[in-house]
Amino acid sequence: MTHDDVLGLRYAAGSDTGRRRSGNEDSVFTSPRLLAVADGMGGHAHGEVASELAMAAIADLDRRVADLDPAELEPETALRQAVADAAGRLDEQVAGDADLAGMGTTLTALLWDGTRFTLAHIGDSRGYLLRDGELSRLTKDHTVVQSLVDEGSLAPELAAGHPHRSVLTRALLAESPAEPDVAALDVRPGDRYLLCSDGLTDAVDDEDIQDVLATVTEPAQAVRTLIDLANDNGGPDNITCVVADVTGGHDRGQ
């Protein structure tokens, strides 16, 4: 890879309470190495505590990665350890305060090593890729409804409106094993990635998400537009988005 082929990231994040919630249980983390979204589980106690603990584990991973030579980094192992660390933090909090029992969070994170992303995912927050104008989903929802779709019991077009679409089959929960999906992603200059909580995807369909990502050039404006669109559609939940562009050569920047 020549100097002009060096890949970089340009990214932005935003979070909004939405129109119907009094507080924000989402948390977000961004750095030149790590991008992450966590959605504290609204049907459980203290979801905001759970999502903040998950982001604290991601922040610690970021500090460790910053001190490593890229050749020493094992991204999949590092992300699995960070998810396990987050689960351990939940356990410690519940052990010290029984009122926190039952708290949980989703977690979707991208770790950048300079040439590719590695994805870790648990729950129903999502990761997307826009490449050459086409949107693809990088994550599978860990929900009862997605399980019904997978086994052929529910048509995919009915999943979005299903009344139990937010019932999770996997999440970061205190006193429960953490089982994230982890995958390496090849990247190209010009790729655009989106991480988001279900406050976006429950209110905005994939076609409209694709249109925003394909037409709004600056990551910060794309984030703002997506959040505004979710709120315009009722804003039923907290909304959190991270948009990251893979840049090459002289276009590199944050």
pLDDT tens digit sequence for 41-74: 855 558 999 999 999 999 999 999 998 887 788 9
The HSE-up count of residue 80 (CA atoms within 13 Å, CB side) is 11
Q: What angle do CA 154, 211, 136 make, to 5 degrees?
A: 50
Q: Output helix, strand, coil percentages for the chain, rounded to the nearest 5.
A: 35, 30, 35
> In this structure, what CATH number is given to the domain that contains residue 233?
3.60.40.10
| pTM for the structure as a whole | 0.91
Residue 40 DSSP code:
B
Chunked into runs of 10 residues, the chain (254 residues) has average pLDDT values of: 71 96 94 97 76 97 88 91 95 88 93 94 97 96 77 68 73 89 96 97 96 98 98 96 87 40
d(CA 155, CA 141): 15
Q: What is the pLDDT of residue 157?
A: 63
Q: What is the pLDDT of residue 43?
A: 53
Cα-based distances in Å from 158 to 149, 179, 250:
9, 27, 45
How many domains is the chain partitioned into structurally?
1
Cβ proximity of 230 and 17 under 8 Å: no
Tens-digit pLDDT profile for residues 156-196: 766 676 666 667 888 998 888 889 999 999 999 999 999 99
The two structure tokens encoding residue 176: 């429960």
Q: Which domain holds residue 62?
A: 3-251
Q: What is the pLDDT of residue 59?
A: 98
